[in-house]
Structure 1
């Protein structure tokens, strides 16, 4: 994200936006799985038929990670392509409805993969108190439920059939292991 000065400048811009526009409606982090993307591999020079990807064409995870790590420019192009498409369809395209403004910063993780932190201000004047009032209306509630069911996708049918824990009154936390060594492992 840059120097301490740049981070301070970005925080100042965010504070100015909040002062001008109010609190953001949505905070979003986009963290593309570059080592699992055939497009990222293709941009890194791996010969793939993107229209007909077969599992046999993809190598193991370690090899994919090695290729992506050794091609940072291809990884940046993949990130830019993906984020541009997401912005054009979700934000500018209006899937979330009209927006007032948005603000994002790109960061890199330790291994060099990029991710985006994003604030979005939706163009409506609905405050939490307004939502609490509107949710009392059955028609609004039904429309909201239909919208959420349309946009949220999951596939937990198999998971529901296989309970990880039997229902019991026992706590489901696990004890922290006892100290493995009396030595200070952080000492130089």
Structure 2
């Protein structure tokens, strides 16, 4: 199970001033560019979260394998036992019918558990990112004030921007000083909860 491809900066981006302005007006503005992907990838807290999420994902995979193995083994035994007999003959075997029904139910329960674990990983990432988003907003405000910036734009929304207006490294350095790590603890959802975790 891989960590989700959730973009944790979606909320953060909403707090960043993104304005569509004309060329003459833009010439009078001080513009800064940040690279959200780079900030998460290279900051200490971003790397810490990624490492912990991978460890939790590996833990979940191990639990799922332990649940799936006996189901697969029983399914293989049933396939071997029923390969040489007709459907009509199977219908005359209450023991086989019960085992088939049990395996089918277990497989459905496994899929529900797998979805639950996937949602837990998403919820875990979101919980870990909340303090990061708060710290990023504070860091960005500092950078904006120090550089007298009027507009901040994500590099992903641009075709080109020179390095002189890119504040990503500055943001990373300040974020490292302010919040080098955060707790990343597995969020456990109620058993059988296959609903998508809330934003």
With normalisation by structure 1, the TM-score equals 0.29
Q: Whose strand proportion is higher, 1 or 2?
A: 1
Bigger Rg over Cα: 2
Greater RCO between the two (CA within 8 Å, min separation 6)? Answer: 2
TM-score scaled by length of structure 2: 0.28
Higher helix share: 2
